[in-house]
Amino acid sequence: MPEYKAPIRDMKFVMQELLDCDSHYQKLGYEDASLDMVDAIITEAAKFTEQVVAPINQSGDEQGCTWNDGEVTTPDGFKEAYQQYVDGGWPTLAQNVDFGGQGLPHSLNTAITEFFSSANHSFAMYPGLSHGALATIEAHGSDKDKNIFIPKLVEGTWTGTMCLTEPHCGTDLGMLRTKAEINDDGSYSITGTKIFISAGEHDLSDNIVHIVIARIPGSPEGSRGISLFIVPKFNVTDAGEVSDRNAVSCGSIEHKMGINANATCVINFDGAKGYLIGEVNRGLNCMFTFMNAARLGVATEGVAAAEASFQGALAYAKDRLQMRSLSGVKNPEGPADAIIVHPDVRRMLLTQKSIAEGGRALIAYLSQLVDVGHAPVSEGRVNEAEKASAEAKLALLTPIAKAFLTELGLECTSHGVQVFGGHGYIKEWGMEQLMRDTKISCLYEGTTGIQALDLLARKILGSKGEILKPFGAEVTAFCVENSGNEAMQEFIQPIMTFGGDWQKMTEKLGLKAMDNPDEIGAASVDYLMYSGYLVLAYFWARMAKVSQDKLAAGDDDSAFYQAKIKTARFYFQRILPRASGHAACVENGSDSMMALDADDFAF
């Protein structure tokens, strides 16, 4: 199994040098989030991840979770590691101080989340889902619900889930059958079955708080009749103490392709007591609080997978001797050269590196936008226009980040297996586990196709292109600012060209969709991938500019900055051109895609 090392230097580069987190935190009033504090937290998180979380990754995959009469036992070491996680105060980091949190920024928590996910995807999912449950209750729950459920979720002694999918419906939540009937005391009786519930049952926490969508009898059909409920595994007193077992049970756990150490459950609600969150029939609106937070978390998983696979592949490529370099012997003392000298191995390693580091910058940027969105409007800190701009950028970039970074994260894990050759296909090396674990990230919280439809149909065409303007203005301003910098032209000119084509593509699609709505579905994934390559190019250009400035100032860490510029050049020359292929697919339209009748696919 590759030995994971948290990328502390690159994380600090992104947070402190690229995005100036110090000024960002001080502007928003996070006085405690000084550079010294940020450094200390990142360093301690790295240590905890490397020493506690990473060592149980491969054994957890091999052992998996076990189900016995409705109870789930996690693999050896998971319960002890989770207790250390709680004892270390990690769940409280970015939570509200009114409920026992430390009140530190969301973006700082996101940084350490990447470490956990790289080191052990399955483990990271247990506390990760609690953040979405917390955000949903805090945003939409009653004061009573907040006081009962949030403190325990904050400290990590309780965990949370989201319960959406049912056996007969996946993405089409309007087809749900779970029902909620009101009780005399104002609570609801929840009855139905949910499937694919990550961390739905386990032995890590004292209680599990399920966030459940259901339909109240008499509500409208479809998504307009969905309501949202808190349904705990154990009933809770008004004082917030666990009492008797609720009518919630785990019917089974799934036998999966990957993330075997995380329990993916069938959860049965048999008249379980639940509590309405928000307004009746407005559950889906409330649920988007959970879903948007989860989508950014899943995007981070894509970056984490690329980083973990890169680390394993790089170490192996430096050590493994195979063949001689075509340009001359590089290891005359050995029988062959290390495979890192071969161009094709370099192609795979640099693809991994450019996606991991570029994706890290995008995620850090998005998490800072979340910080702005959470900040109250205050004179001298954040005004309404800044919040509106941040929210528009988040709405545009969240589906791109979720789908693009997970698809490329999966590609990077495939490269990791390929660099190892036959050894990559063997379990003890750990590379195939990364690939198996990462595929789910392309699926849950909305598949790539669903994210693409959300981006193109709902966000861009739905706003008549208005949602593109805040981020587009930012990219344009950066290009104009650096238009006279000769050293930056290899990065600026492609962004301007691809950016202009992005706008034309969007306008043309809007016109075509008016005549044939299938054009949206036919173009959506290619459109999203094109957008992703362009967005990542912008962040690579920014990283190149920071690195150029550091070198010009005579910074001692010149090797780091030189590597940044060289990796940026690789991205622009070998990765960004992929966008042109996606543009051609969009241009070619839906005709060939829709030409076959359903019966013509097979004979």
Three-class secondary structure of residue 423 per DSSP: helix
Burial environment of residue 372 by CB neighbours within 10 A (0 to 12, 13 to 18, 19 or more) = buried
According to the 3-state scheme, what is the secondary structure of 522-581?
HHHHHHHHHHHHHHHHHHHHHHHHHHHHHHHCCCCCHHHHHHHHHHHHHHHHHHCCHHHH
Q: Are strands 207-214 and 158-163 parallel, antiparallel or unpaired?
A: parallel
Burial environment of residue 333 by CB neighbours within 10 A (0 to 12, 13 to 18, 19 or more) = exposed
Q: Which token pair is 40?
A: 């200390």
- CA distances 379 to 216, 288, 427, Å, are 43, 29, 57
- CA distances 373 to 140, 376, 391, 395, 496, Å, are 16, 8, 6, 11, 29
What angle is formed at CA 483 by the lines to CA 565 and CA 473, rounded to 5 degrees? 95
What's at 51, amino acid-wise?
A: Q
- Supply the DSSP string of 106-148, one letter for each residue: HHHHHHHHHHHHHH-HHHHHHHHHHHHHHHHHHHHS-HHHHHH
Residue 587 appears among annotated catalytic residues? no
- CA distances 581 to 277, 472, 529, 530, Å, are 45, 22, 10, 9
> Are 118 and 45 in contact, with CB atoms under 8 Å apart?
no
DSSP E strand stretches across 541-589: none
Which residues, in sequence order, are bridge partners of residue 208?
159
Instruction: Name the strand (E) or helix (H) holding 212.
Output: strand 207-214
Burial environment of residue 125 by CB neighbours within 10 A (0 to 12, 13 to 18, 19 or more) = buried
Q: Which token pair is 54?
A: 């990473």
Which residues, in sequence order, are bridge partners of residue 182?
188
Instruction: Name the strand (E) or helix (H) holding 217.
Output: none
Residue the block writes with tokens 């075997």:
260
- Nearest 10 degrees: Cα torsion 547, 300, 158, 235: 150
Q: Which token pair is 498?
A: 């691809």
Q: Give the number of other CB atoms < 10 A from CB of residue 235.
A: 18
CA 53 to centroid of chain Cα atoms:
19
Rg (C-alpha) for the chain, rounded Å, is 24
> Are 442 and 407 in contact, with CB atoms under 8 Å apart?
yes
Catalytic, out of 138, 357, 445, 519: 445
Question: Annotated active-site positions, please?
Answer: 445
